[in-house]
Structure 1
Amino acid sequence: MAATESSTRPIVVVTEGGPHIWAIVNALADRVGPVSVILEAPESKKRLLMGRARRQGWISAIGQLGTMVLTRLGKRFLAGHAGRLIAEEKLATEPRQGQAIIHVPSANGPECLKEIKRIKPGVVLLAGCRLLSKDMLAKMPCPVLNYHAGIAPKYRGMNGGYWALASGDQGNFGTTVHLVDAGVDTGGVMKQARGKPKTGDTIAGYALRQAAFSRDICVEAIGNALAGRLETIDPGLPSKQWYHPTIWYYLWTGLTKRVW
């Protein structure tokens, strides 16, 4: 497809939502072009717990669930800090009036694929949604990119920013936009951004801080994809997949390293 044709085509963002994702969506709409958002339903917590128990054992799964609950509570208690971050960084964290939003049960389901084919986008950006199967990816009519809140491939999976800080690797507190393959954040890296957390930032809000310094790379990567440029870089880093920290690890690391 010629770049001139692709650049006139819309952008699709597939996501479960969240303020940090809307910050990215609105930046794309302002600086690149029209965005249609396909919003998937949240995954069942029971199914999520069962899946993690199968992969990692019940002790780890329950420990991770504890951190997830604590994180959700933390967002409520730290709403004031989040509000200041949003104001300071001039983030637009809500859907705008007239924003096209299509609801589907799952990013990996036929309803999602049907909508993507109907919209005929020049590029699809995944941002905080279920993994797409190899079969689903093969049916995509355009390039598929992923916004990952971590530096890949060193911090693939969950909570990439947190794990960099907890590992004493502050220089890799960052994000990645990469091509999507059937693995977990294993596709070719297109763009990366690094930043620094600020006083008061915690695991409940790292994603928002990361989104603030990642708008440029999302705009650049999407613009390149629309123009038919899908060049990748080699970060020269080891590869490891991470999960949610268990509640006991999270509390211990907070108390001993002051990484919350």
Structure 2
Amino acid sequence: MRSVLICHASDAFDRQGLAAWLASFTDVAGIVVLDETRAQRVARVRRELKRVGPLRMVDVLAMRVWQKLTQSSRDRHWTRHALARMHRRYGGVPHVPEIVASDVNDPAVVAFVRALRPDFVLARCKQLIRKKLLSVPGTGIFVLHPGICPEYRNAHGCFWALAQRDLAHVGMTLLKIDAGVDTGPVYGHYRYAFDERHESHVVIQYRVVLENLDAVARRLGEVVRGEAQPIDVHGRMSGAWGQPWLSRYLRWQRTVHGATP
């Protein structure tokens, strides 16, 4: 199988660890590295502001500050150990062609992926992928979505399942992208025995990927060979969730620990 990885320049777990994992069972033809501009990051904040309003946006920004002050150091420590574990098992980052762009839908990115003729693309990015790129890979573009779909769509499904105390839906979804937002065919739901008392939601959403890499590799092979059918999610509740809120985080932690952390 020929594969292409799309990832953010700042995410070592994906750019180094998942690249090595992909190379262990596919021919990695190339990597698309997204290095977003400040304008793109500001635009994302503005979209969230429009979606939730100014008061709730304060809650969102407060959560980011809280994470930076109380969790980011431990999360980076976990990531370093996770990468070491992945490199021991899967080897180093493959030496393959790369393209660096700010926009995943840049015509240069589309041309780069088309020239590589991948069977599938694994997209680990926050940007929505448009139809011109969606149509390029033979089997499709897949995501390892942090959350169980369709109940927890968007990028913070693990956080919201934890905050909602919906622990059965803390996990990851192997999903083939379509034109919607996390609405494509679902090919797998994955979980692990997380420890919400000692693991941050960021670690949980990465670790559920780490603990299920072998199963995901087998499933992707089945999909590419035409041996897999999507999971029937007809009739299930569907929800699109936004950025984490500090107020909901503190409520979740009071439930888990019995007091504000």
TM-score (norm 2): 0.82
Q: Are 2:25 and 1:34 aligned? A: no
Q: Secondary structure at the match of 1:204?
A: helix
Among candidates 58, 61, 70, match of residue 57 of structure 2? 61
Q: Are 2:99 and 1:121 aligned? A: no
Q: Give matches, 1:1-260, under 5 Å.
A: 7=1, 10-17=2-9, 18-21=11-14, 22-42=16-36, 44-73=40-69, 74-84=71-81, 90-92=85-87, 96=93, 98-137=95-134, 139-142=135-138, 143-198=140-195, 199-229=197-227, 231-235=229-233, 237-258=236-257
> Structure 1 residues 24, 82: closer, same or farther in 2, change over 3 A?
closer
The 10-residue stretch of structure 1 (43-52 or 217-226) with the greater mean CA deviation from structure 2? 217-226
CA distance in 2, matches of 1:225, 1:68: 37
CA distance in 1, matches of 2:87, 2:95: 15
Offset, 1:132: 1.1
Q: Percent identity?
A: 22
Alignment RMSD (CA, Å) = 2.7
Paired amino acid for 1:167: Q
Point out where structure 2 has 5 or more consecutive residues left out of the alignment.
Answer: none
Offset, 1:40: 1.1
TM-score (norm 1): 0.83
Q: Secondary structure at the match of 1:114?
A: helix
CA distance in 1, matches of 2:93, 2:65: 29
Point out where structure 1 has 5 or more consecutive residues left out of the alignment.
Answer: 1-6
Q: Which has the higher contact order (CA 8 A, sep 6+)?
A: 1
> Structure 1 residues 45, 195: closer, same or farther in 2, change over 3 A?
same
CA distance in 1, matches of 2:51, 2:73: 30
Q: Number of residue pairs matched?
A: 249
Q: Secondary structure at the match of 1:152?
A: coil
Paired amino acid for 2:232: D
> Structure 1 residues 55, 136: closer, same or farther in 2, change over 3 A?
farther
Runs of 4+ in 1 over 4 A off after TM superposition: 81-87
Paired amino acid for 1:105: S
The question of whether the paired residues in 2 share the 8 Å contact of 1:150 and 1:176 is answered with yes
